[in-house]
Structure 1
Amino acid sequence: MPTRVQHAEPTPVRSKRQSIPSQPPSSAPAAAGPGTDWYIVFLRVNLAIRYMLLVWGLILLFDLDVPNPREILEKLAEVVLWWVTLSFLSDSGPVSGVSDPVWRAIALQHRMRSSQNNVTSIIAFARPAFQHSRPATTSSAAADASSLVTRIKNLLYGTSLSLFAVLTYLYITDTRASVHQWLVVPALRYVYPDAEDAHHAGTKALRALYSFGIHPRERNSKVTDSKDADLSVTVFGQKLQNPIGTSAGIDKLAEIPDALMALGPAIVEVGGATPLPQEGNPKPRVFRIPSQNALINRYGLNGLGADDMARRLRERVRLFAYSRGYGVGEDAEQLVLNGGAGVNPGSLTDGKLLLVQVAKNKDTKDEDIEAVKRDYVYCVERLAPYADVLVVNVSSPNTPGLRTLQRVEPLTKILDGVVTAAKSTKRKNAPKVMVKVSPDEDADDQIEGIVEAIWRSGVDGVIVGNTTKRRHGFVPNDIKLSAKERKILDEQGGLSGPHMFERTLGLVKRYRKLLDEGPPPPTNNQTEDSDDQTSSKIAEKVESVKNTITQTVSPTREQKVIFATGGITNGKQALEILNAGASVAQIYTALIYGGVGTVSRIKKEMREEILGSRK
């Protein structure tokens, strides 16, 4: 059988155009082909970081007000450091280690591809194929040097990212940052049209941020030493860092007392707490009047009850004891409450006080004074161990009949029961007791009756002011409200805002004058027990005077402490309130509209006023 001869297939002759590969060789640099888009992304990120670092430097220098020259120098040093970092980054690409000329070539090629279609691709593919045929000339020493440069650039790039994150953290968590007032507050109002929903969202946010340690705070270790030294006051024998406080209602359930203290006030008031949980009034029950920075609320003392608040505060104390190494359980708790940790048992902070407000349940009949007193005493027995000061609320405008308890006889009985229960607190030092009164009870006989009840019961002070039920004259005649705000102004509830200031200021002066006059003389309609109690207190007062150096009576020697709340929005007003006889100026509505930096701003304005008056 003949053998078949196998002929090889002829190899086709390729043209010069076909000799160029249709795809780039695998060894060709990726930067030379269409796959360089990710390099462009890195380049843009690099440039963005440079600009962001520059912006943060300027923001921290100019937005975070730093009156101390040393702080200014520190900020300038930080800005210089950022510029040095920028200078390194300006000569380097991202982590790939590619030099700046190559980055420019890549960017140019990217633009060329946008304007040229197939021709650009052919040229781009041909260049690496041609270059691939060249012999390698790079030495191992050059490769090592390139690797070192790459690592240095990686370090600088990572450092810049870390620095940016740190700067962002420092800015966002500083109460002086204007973003809190001009961005966060409007955003909350936009996202939550209902004011109560916005309040709850803000409370949850602060609680979450505090739990992770990224909450807003009055930053700088010099706050209590140099910045607040000129604002320190003595209240109940304790030196407080400053005379600014937050009113009850901001933290109704005692969820965020520590987060509020971090904002800079020396006084934080939580509550009010009632014996049993109650839902309060139907929603909607909070309304904004934005043009006047005012609020109307008719919450109705909604809350989860005194037992729930006591549980929260007890857990807070035990967590503090554990963090200090005292252990857990009742023994550790009692050690902290007795002052063994060197801090106030309520605030758990030196130079600050925690006020806990108590009230009666809505269903408790006002005519049954004994039942009303039992409500208050129940709250005191649960909450007194965890409070520096107890506040008796008899002035809420949203609980029917509550303000009728401000008459002499019922108020004296209620306050006497609270004082007795507070003194029985199982703690080394019993909490102080204050009563919160209404701004609407402003007739002479009403104020005199409240002052008489204060002296007869033995409470330690009074909080002058609350929201008002009055509308006449609240908004000056020359201010025109929109139809919507006019309608809101007619809503039932307690009204608060800047226009309350003059009324609060006048009430503080009147209460200061009457309290400085001492206990009123006993009247004929007082019971024999009341006479004995008053005489005993007068005798104690006379005895204490004998044991002290004789001095003239002046407004600075306060027999009873006054806190003021209502319409205080700036540092000048706070100083006026203090000069009128109050020891502490509390804020509520100003904080709602001004954001978490309000306390810092008010204290800054107070210092400016003090320094200005000395010139």
Structure 2
Amino acid sequence: MNIYPLLRPLLFQLDPETAHHVTLEGLKLAYKSGLSPLIKAQNSEQPIEVMGLHFDNPVGLAAGLDKNGDYIDALAALGFGFIEIGTVTPRPQPGNPKPRLFRLPEQQAIINRMGFNNKGIDHLINQVKQTRYRGVLGINIGKNFDTPLENAVDDYLIGLEKSYPFASYITINISSPNTKNLRQLQQGEEIGRLLSALKNAQLRLQQQHSRYVPLVVKIAPDLSNEEIQHIASLLKSLAIDGVIATNTTIDRSAIAEHTLANENGGLSGAPVREKSTAVVKKLADELSGALPIIAAGGILNGRDAQEKIEAGAKLVQIYSGLIYRGPQLITDILKAIYQPDRIR
């Protein structure tokens, strides 16, 4: 039952951040009341194996919607094949001043400059311990805003250490535009030092916990071809397990005439689709299947998701599309991409 088109006009009357909270609390109430089956995606059992993990289907929830792991069960009940929570930092932090979230309905887009607002890694882990969900759970880790860039690896190591026993995979977020200078970690020697330290820690934690938890890197859509080549080479040489392409964009060319175009933050939704898909395709060419690509960015319908798969992705993630389309988007994507010969 697709009731979201009836609810969306009411939610869009609210401030975006208030609507975000109201929606999540509503989903939680629906889950606890046993109503989730009424809005769950149809035919959501379409399993696929990626990174040695069993995904119920190839459509996941991108990080950012549930930063603290407070709504895992309610979101999983919508029929996602996997859930990614975070971005979480070692210490709680409030994020950037409000307003920091903006809708652009005409462009089916969102601008956010949330700034990794979250309750800290310890809170998130406590929430994960309480969840009933037993599917694939990604935990997305970042650095605190006041941690100097030269010490960033320390924050990522804390996130990795604490997440490792509870995550199906761990995403290293070095591509948010909303933490000052964070994207520098994608460049030059910085990314090599960071990923080497995290890879060494992963192998140590594998021995300690007797389980292997894949490491995934999330990159920006604003990288040059040379930067993508450099990152792809590093991912292969360090045996990183996967890559998410992409985060939000700082490019405003697609919305240049909009009244909100000058708002700082990352732009997501339909305007980032082409840039994101281009990065997926370039990565796929460079990686030659050495590690899987998870595509995110501008997926508003099944055709958009199929485009990502054809560009070289194994899995897809949605966030802004969910805001504009609701849970029906999961069903539409599954209908569009359920062609096993293309997603194996």
* Change over 3 Å in CA distance of 1:494–1:273 after alignment to 2: same
1:289 paired to 2:104:
yes
| Helix, strand or coil at the partner of 1:254 | coil
1:568 paired to 2:340:
no
Other-structure match for 1:306: 121
1:456: how far off?
Answer: 3.4
CA distance in 1, matches of 2:275, 2:41: 34
1:296: how far off?
Answer: 0.3
Structure 1, unpaired ranges of 5+: 1-176, 321-346, 517-557
Q: Deviations over 1:411-466 (max 9, x none)?
A: 1221122223333154332210000001111x122112212321333311111111
Paired letter, 1:249: G
Q: What TM-score do you get using the length of structure 1 for normalisation? A: 0.53
Other-structure match for 1:184: 7
1:505: how far off?
Answer: 1.4
Paired letter, 1:254: G
Does the CA contact (< 8 Å) of 1:360 and 1:372 recur in 2?
yes
1:258 paired to 2:38:
no
% identical equivalent positions:
35
Q: Deviations over 1:21-59 (max 9, x none)?
A: xxxxxxxxxxxxxxxxxxxxxxxxxxxxxxxxxxxxxxx
Instruction: Give the alignment of 1:17-32 within 5 angstroms.
Output: none
1:422 paired to 2:205:
no
1:223: how far off?
Answer: 4.6
1:487: how far off?
Answer: 1.9
* Change over 3 Å in CA distance of 1:392–1:290 after alignment to 2: same
CA distance in 2, matches of 1:429, 1:563: 22
1:438 paired to 2:169:
no
Does the CA contact (< 8 Å) of 1:412 and 1:456 recur in 2?
no
Paired letter, 1:502: E
Does the CA contact (< 8 Å) of 1:462 and 1:562 recur in 2?
yes
* Change over 3 Å in CA distance of 1:405–1:587 after alignment to 2: same
1:219: how far off?
Answer: 6.6
CA distance in 2, matches of 1:223, 1:490: 39
CA distance in 2, matches of 1:275, 1:223: 34
1:389 paired to 2:139:
no
Other-structure match for 1:360: 143
CA distance in 2, matches of 1:376, 1:503: 27
Paired letter, 2:40: E
CA distance in 2, matches of 1:263, 1:466: 23
Does the CA contact (< 8 Å) of 1:273 and 1:358 recur in 2?
yes
Query: Which of 370, 375, 384 is the aligned partner of 2:155?
Result: 375
Other-structure match for 1:277: 92
Does the CA contact (< 8 Å) of 1:408 and 1:453 recur in 2?
no
Other-structure match for 2:183: 403
1:510 paired to 2:282:
yes
Structure 2, unpaired ranges of 5+: none
Other-structure match for 1:169: none
Paired letter, 2:250: K
Query: Which of 107, 121, 134 is the aligned partner of 1:348?
Result: 134
1:210 paired to 2:210:
no
Q: What TM-score do you get using the length of structure 2 for normalisation? A: 0.92
Larger radius of gyration: 1
CA RMSD, Structure 1 to Structure 2 (Å) = 2.1
1:404: how far off?
Answer: 0.5
* Change over 3 Å in CA distance of 1:283–1:296 after alignment to 2: same
CA distance in 1, matches of 2:217, 2:336: 29
CA distance in 2, matches of 1:578, 1:201: 33
* Change over 3 Å in CA distance of 1:419–1:496 after alignment to 2: same
* Change over 3 Å in CA distance of 1:208–1:605 after alignment to 2: same
Paired letter, 2:20: H
| Helix, strand or coil at the partner of 2:165 | helix
Q: Which runs of 4+ in 1 moved over 6 A?
A: none
1:407: how far off?
Answer: 1.5
Paired letter, 1:377: L
Paired letter, 1:515: L
1:264: how far off?
Answer: 1.7
| Helix, strand or coil at the partner of 1:386 | coil
Q: Deviations over 1:330-385 (max 9, x none)?
A: xxxxxxxxxxxxxxxxx513xxx21110000100111x1xx211100001111111
| Helix, strand or coil at the partner of 2:209 | coil
1:199 paired to 2:33:
no
* Change over 3 Å in CA distance of 1:488–1:431 after alignment to 2: same
Does the CA contact (< 8 Å) of 1:504 and 1:565 recur in 2?
yes
| Helix, strand or coil at the partner of 1:279 | coil
CA distance in 2, matches of 1:301, 1:509: 28
Range 246-255 or range 390-399, more displaced: 246-255
Other-structure match for 1:590: 321
CA distance in 2, matches of 1:219, 1:561: 25
Paired letter, 2:3: V
Query: Which of 481, 492, 496 is the aligned partner of 2:268?
Result: 496
- How many residues in Structure 1 have an aligned counterpart in Structure 2? 338
1:398: how far off?
Answer: 0.5
Q: Higher relative contact order by CA 8 Å / sep ≥ 6: 1 or 2?
A: 2
Paired letter, 2:17: E
1:600: how far off?
Answer: 1.6
